[in-house]
Chains A and B, each alone.
Chain A
């Protein structure tokens, strides 16, 4: 069958979107270098555009692209090794285990994506570098897109990626999925990276608007990809958590970009499909006998999602879940959230006592939400003077414009 060039270029585009990460990941394993693999992958797709027109489309395009990319890399290195003896050694090191061009080892190729994820999220890289590498190499976002999402200048982000790649090469971070006994620790780092990306999109830490759609969507996509490759209960939990948070996005801000608190959100705006998927994932996670921090956080998000109105929220259950979460993951921020839930269950005074205890310890004195929560409860108890002082402390610490506007509104409500 003769294919028109237009049809071929459309098809190659489609295959690029679907397969480029797999081809890339396998080429990293075979060539042992990120930059070499990237060049080889682009060479392979270029060759596909040139040759498929005449020679027809191979029966297994992915295998064809991998093997073509590998040959292109060897070619490239041979040419370079004429000038540089170091490259000659590298050429000899290229792994030969794709001698079979039919490449029916799909399992191994799926594992390569997982290897790529674990390499990009290696704990020896800084957490900024892990997120940037994961978005660049696993999600295939451009440096400019990632820079814009993280509100840094493109050259800064490019530098971060160059340094991370240099470290992977120089410190010999291997292209591996960790063995089973190391998996829980290393998976924790991967989940942290995905959740950090999600939160960067959800609560942009600075800037004009609170939500940046793309990063949260990328994080959910990553969560799905990871779950496909590694069906661990905590991966299920993280995906459920992200979906349940994301379901509230349309209700979280007003059209002018002002924050709307959970209590005041129009629950009819919550996305029912995301909630349904989140709840069903959570059910699946609870069938495991190992309940980790992400599953517990998802369960808390689910308790909110299931309540038709703030009054019908099961606050006892939420307090209980926070107590469990504190046991697996002791943190003052979780304690603060538990205190707020206690206020909802037992009344503002009980909650305020908890918050005062936490703030007295000093750990959260720079955390604006601790002061906001304190202010809110004081206000409910009619302690206007204390409430104003707390709102003012919160305002001094808050960075984002919508949050600052929210606090100012609260201060105005209190009057003078």
Chain B
């Protein structure tokens, strides 16, 4: 999702957009295609772990290089960001390959309130 576009949208436009998204999510669920997922917060709140000169380096923001590939996603339960960093710092994949790999940590977003509001709008 392009954040800059989102910033320029009015509240009613955003609501219509979110309603459409949730409707399609429901359609995917109903026809059995939806296998699971988790909403993520803004890239602003991302943290990146990388392997640099033999140790873990923690930096702000999402992956800086577009040529990096996403190898997979993992959903973790952690008490806070330091806990999440600690858990992922030990992941062997971080040290794999030339120059090592990287992990991007993003907090999950709770959309329950938004979904409820959207339902109410559709009813109303």
Interface residues of A (CB under 8 A from B): 122-126, 129, 163, 166-167, 170-174, 176, 178, 182, 185
Is A124 a contact partner of B80 (Cβ separation < 8 A)?
A: no
With the chains together, A38 CA to B35 CA distance in Å?
44
User: Among the listed stretches B22-30, B40-48, B67-75, B116-124, which one makes contact with chain A, having 4 or more residues with CB under 8 Å of it?
Assistant: B40-48
9-residue interface stretch from B7-15, B54-62, B93-101 = B54-62
Cβ–Cβ contact B58 & A172, under 8 A: no
**Which A residues lie within 8 Å of B60 (CB)?**
123-126, 129, 167
Give Cα A124 to B61, complex, Å: 7
Interface of B is mostly: mixed
CB-defined contacts of A178 to chain B, threshold 8 Å? 82
Q: How many A-B residue pairs have CB under 8 A?
A: 49
Chain B positions 62-93 with a Cβ under 8 Å from a chain A Cβ: 79-83, 85-86
Contact B80 A173 (CB under 8 A): yes
Chain B neighbourhood of A122, CB < 8 A:
81
Once the chains bind, are B55 and A185 in contact (CB under 8 Å)? yes
Q: How far is the CA of A182 from the CA of B58 in the complex (A)?
A: 12
Given A171-B107, A172-B107, A173-B80, the answer on whether A124 and B58 have CB atoms closer than 8 Å is yes
A125 to B46, CA, bound (A): 9
Closest residue of A by beta carbon distance from B59 = A123
B80 touches A170 (CB 8 A): no
What 16 additional pairs, Cβ within 8 angstroms, besides A124-B85, A167-B60, A170-B107? A122-B81, A123-B57, A123-B58, A123-B59, A124-B59, A170-B45, A171-B47, A171-B81, A171-B105, A171-B107, A172-B80, A172-B107, A173-B80, A173-B82, A174-B81, A182-B86
Question: A-contacting residues of B (Cβ < 8 Å)?
Answer: 41-42, 44-47, 55, 57-61, 79-83, 85-86, 105, 107
- Of B41, B46, B60, B79, which is in contact with the most chain A CB atoms at under 10 Å from its CB? B60
Whether the pair A166, B59 counts as a contact (CB closer than 8 A) is no
Residue on B nearest A129 in the bound complex, by CB: B60
Q: Are B82 and A174 in contact (CB under 8 A)?
A: yes
Q: Min CB distance, A331 to chain B, in Å? A: 12
Q: Do the beta carbons of B47 and A170 come within 8 Å of each other?
A: no
Say how far B108's CB is from chain A's closest CB, in angstroms: 10
Least distance between A228 CB and chain B CB atoms (Å): 24
Contact A172–B81 (Cβ < 8 Å):
yes
Which chain B residues lie closer than 8 Å to A172 at the CB level?
Answer: 79-81, 107
A403 to chain B, nearest CB (A): 30
- List A contacts of B41 (CB < 8 A): 170-171
